[in-house]
Structure 1
Amino acid sequence: MAERETVRITGMHAVSALGRGADALLSGVLTGAPAFTPVRRFDTTGRRVTLAATLPQTDTLAGELADAVDHAGRDAGLERADRAGTALFLATHGGPRSLPVPSGVDEPTVPALAGHLAARCGLGGPTRVYTTACVSASTAVADAAALIRRGDADRVVVAAGYLVEPDQYALFDAGRALAADGAVRPFSAGRKGLLLGDGVAAVVLESAAVAARRGAEPVATVAGWGRAGDAYHACQPHPGGDGLARAVEAALRRAGLPPAAVGYVNANATGTPFSDAAEAKALGRVFGDLAGRLPVSSTKSVHGHTLEASGLLELVVTVLALRHGKLPPTAGWLAADPDCPVDVIRDAPRPVATGHALTLNSAFGGANTALLVGAA
C-alpha cells in the first residue's frame, strides 16, 4: 500500500537530569550547562570515571515511564476513548535489572513492561518492545510513523527510558568509553569520550486526519525517516559514515526534500573520537558544500548519553528547538578538529533558519537512524 498519511506529533513529555517536562529540557539545553555530577545512585569505587547526568530523585523505571506516557497523552488531549485503540511502542534496556527496587514494589521485567504500561495508562492497542541499543527509540518512532503513513495505525505512543545503572556503567567504564576528563566534547579536538545520563520520554504520533477530527493541535510533523547498517564492525562505525549517510538520504527521499531544506542537525555525536569523525564524514557526503554551513549540535554534551532513550529524548529536543526558534549549543568545545569539519553551534543558541531539522542516532553493531521533523 502506498504511503499517504501525514504523521503528526501531538503530545510529548521528557525527563532528564535537566529536570522534568519540556520546559526544563528546553531551558537546560539552551543554557548549555552540563548536568554531570558525581554518581550517588550506586557505588563507583574503583571506576576510572565517577560522573553521570542523573536525576536527584527517581521513581522506578516503570513509574517514570508511566508518568511520561500519561503526561504526553494529556499534552495531546487524549480522552479515554482515544487511548483505547492506541498502540504503545517501548524502547528500553533489555539487560538484567540493576537498579534497586523499593521493598514491596513489583517492578515488571522488560518483556512484560510494555503490557504493564499499556494497562496502567489505558492504551488498548498492540504493544512492541525495542532493545536495539542506542537506536531503540528512533527505530520505534520510524516504525510507528511508517504504520501511520500507510494507514495501518491511527495513533501510536512511543515511550523510552533509561536510568543510569551499575551494569552498563561498568561496561562503558571498563571499555574506556567514558570521558576521563569529566566533559563530553562532541566534534572537538581533545574529546575523550561520552558520559551517561538519565532519560525518559514519550511522544504521541498520529495521522493528521485523525488529529484534525478530534481538534488536536500538532506540535511537529515527522516528515521522513531512514535506517541503514554499516556492516563494518561490531563496535566501530564505518570510517566514512556510510550507513549514517544512507539513513539521512533515505529520510530526505521519504520527505521529498532536498538537503538544502534542512536547517539544523541534532547529531548523534557522543564525544568519542571515531564516531564523531565518521558522523562528520556522513554529513559531508550528504550535504556536500552545505555541510560546513549547516548548524549542528549534540545535546548529549549537556544531558548525557541516555542509551535506549536517546533517540526519543533528542527528538523532543529537536522539536522544541524548531517550535521556539532557538538551536541549542554544544558544551565542552576546546578547538576545531580537522576530521570534523562541521558548523558546531557553540557558546550560545542560534536562531532557526528553516522549518526542518534532522536528529541522528547510531549504535554498536553499525545501526544508524535519521528522523526528519518539520514545524507544525
Structure 2
Amino acid sequence: MKKRRVVVTGIGAVTPLGNDAATSWSNAIEGKSGVGPLTRINADEYPAKVSAELKDFNVEEFIEKKDARKMDRFTHYAVAASLMAVKDADLVITDENAPRVGVWIGSGIGGMETFENQYEIFLNRGYRRVSPFFVPMMIPDMAAGQVSIALGARGFNSCTVTACATGTNSIGDAFKVIQRGDADVMVAGGAEAPITKMAVAGFCANTALSNNPDPKTASRPFDLNRDGFVIGEGAGVVILEELEHALARGAKIYAEIVGYGATGDAYHITAPAPGGEGGARAMKMAIDDAGLSPEQIDYINAHGTSTDYNDKYETMAIKEVFGEHAYNVAISSTKSMTGHLLGAAGGVEAIFTVLAIKEGILPPTINYETPDPECDLDYVPNKSRRKEVKAAISNSLGFGGHNATIAFVRYE
C-alpha cells in the first residue's frame, strides 16, 4: 500500500519565550532566555531557584472563565495552542469533515496542580468538598478530550504519556494515523504544567534539576558546567495534514513530516542507556522510515536537557548514527532558552524544527561557555545561524527509557 504524504500546515504554542508560536520563535532566534526566578511556588523551600514560566498568559482569551475553572492549567495550555494552530492552518472544521479530523495530544504528568490542591481540600475538609471535576481535570488525556470538544474534531483521538518523549511520540503517532489513512488531519503535540510543589520536590529529590540560582546560566546544555535541567511549562501543537487534502484547500505548508522512530532502552527508570543506544536506534529508525541517509540530515533539534548523562549520551548516540557526518551536522538544544517542558517539549521543538527548515535559520544553544571534551559537536553555540535546511530531525528522550525521533524535510 502506498504511504500517504503528510505535511505540517499549522503551528500553535505557548512557551516561556512567548504566548504564541511566532513570538516564541522570534525570541529563540534572538537567543533570548525564558528562564527566570521560580515564582509559581515558594522557592525558599527548594534547592532549585529558577524555572521557565509563562509570562502574562491569559486563559480567558481562549476559554470562557466558567469553563476554564473546570480544567487544569496543562489543559488551558493545550486548548490555547490548538486553537492558534487551527487558526494558523486556516482550517475550518465542519460536520462533514469532523470525523476525519483527529486529536493526539499528550502530557507527561497531567493535572498535578489539581491533584495537589484537591488533596489539601480532602485533608482539611473531607471528601464532600472535593471538586466533582477533580478526576476529569487531573487525567492526562483530558487535554486531547477538551481540544476535541473545543474544535468539534470527532476523528481519531488519543493521548500519549511517555514522560519527556510525550510530545514527539504524539506527533509521530498522529503522523502514522494519517499516513495509513485513518484521518486526513491531526491536531498533535504536548502540554505540561509541572511547576507545582510536589513535581518540583520530586525532581529536586532525584537531583534532576539545576541548583544554579542564576537564570542566565542555569540551563546550559552540552556545557561542561551543566548541573541539571530547568523545569518549564507550556504547550506545542502542530496541524498535520494529508498532502492532497492540504493542496485541495490551498493550505500553506511549513514542511513535510517523513519519518518516525520510537524505541525503549529496557535499562533504567530514569538514566539513559549507556552510550545512548536506545536514542541511536530511534534516530536510525526515523531516518530509515523517511527514506533518507544520515548524510542528508542538516540539522538536529537535540533533546539536550542540560543534565550530565543526557547530553553526553545523546552526543554519543549522534556519533553512532552519523559517523563522521556527526561533526558536520548542526545541533541545537532550544531547552537552553525554554527550559525543559517535559511532555510539551517535543511539541514545541517540532515547531522550531519545521521553522528552521522553512526559514533557513538555526536557533542557538545559549549559555554555552565551557566546552565539554565528551560533547564535542557543533551545537550552534550562543548565536543563531543562517543555513539551508533540507532535512532535519527532532529528538526526545524520556524517563522509563522512552526514545522518540521525528524527521522533517522541506516540502518540494
CA distance in 2, matches of 1:96, 1:211: 34
1:17-36 matches, cutoff 5 A:
17-36=16-35
Report the counterpart of residue 86 of structure 1 in structure 2: 101
1:111-126 matches, cutoff 5 A:
111-126=141-156
Q: 2:254 aligns with which of 219, 232, 240?
A: 219
Identity of aligned residues (%): 32
3-state DSSP class of the match of 2:394? Answer: strand
Q: 2:179 aligns with which of 145, 149, 156?
A: 149
Report the counterpart of residue 202 of structure 2 in structure 1: 171
Report the counterpart of residue 127 of structure 1 in structure 2: 157
Q: Which moved more, 1:359-368 or 1:159-168?
A: 159-168
The CA deviation at 1:43 is 1.9
Residue pair 2:77, 2:234 contacting (<8 A) in 1 also: no
Corresponding position: 1:286 with 2:285: no
Corresponding position: 1:138 with 2:162: no
CA 1:73–1:83: 2 relative to 1, 3 Å: farther
3-state DSSP class of the match of 1:10? Answer: strand
The CA deviation at 1:165 is 2.4
Alignment length (residue pairs): 374
Counterpart AA for 1:20: N
CA distance in 2, matches of 1:120, 1:249: 37
Alpha-carbon deviations, 1:185-244, whole Å to 9, x = none?
211111111001122121111110111122212111101111111112221111211111
TM (norm. structure 2) is: 0.86
Alpha-carbon deviations, 1:224-275, whole Å to 9, x = none?
1111111122211112111111111111111111111111111001011111
Q: Which moved more, 1:92-101 or 1:143-152?
A: 92-101
CA distance in 1, matches of 2:100, 2:265: 37
Residue pair 2:236, 2:347 contacting (<8 A) in 1 also: yes
CA distance in 1, matches of 2:76, 2:314: 35
Residue pair 2:229, 2:307 contacting (<8 A) in 1 also: yes
Report the counterpart of residue 109 of structure 1 in structure 2: 138
Corresponding position: 1:77 with 2:106: no
CA distance in 2, matches of 1:276, 1:84: 42
Report the counterpart of residue 256 of structure 1 in structure 2: 291
Residue pair 1:9, 1:221 contacting (<8 A) in 2 also: yes
The CA deviation at 1:300 is 0.3
Q: Where does structure 2 lack aligned partners over 5 or more consecutive residues?
A: 60-72, 119-130
Residue pair 1:15, 1:201 contacting (<8 A) in 2 also: yes
The CA deviation at 1:170 is 1.4
Residue pair 1:31, 1:348 contacting (<8 A) in 2 also: yes
Counterpart AA for 1:231: A
CA 1:155–1:33: 2 relative to 1, 3 Å: same
RMSD: 2.0
Q: Which moved more, 1:85-94 or 1:271-280?
A: 85-94
The CA deviation at 1:46 is 2.1
Report the counterpart of residue 56 of structure 1 in structure 2: 55
TM (norm. structure 1) is: 0.94
3-state DSSP class of the match of 1:20? Answer: coil
Q: Which moved more, 1:366-375 or 1:89-98?
A: 89-98
Q: Where does structure 1 lack aligned partners over 5 or more consecutive residues?
A: none
CA distance in 1, matches of 2:169, 2:11: 17
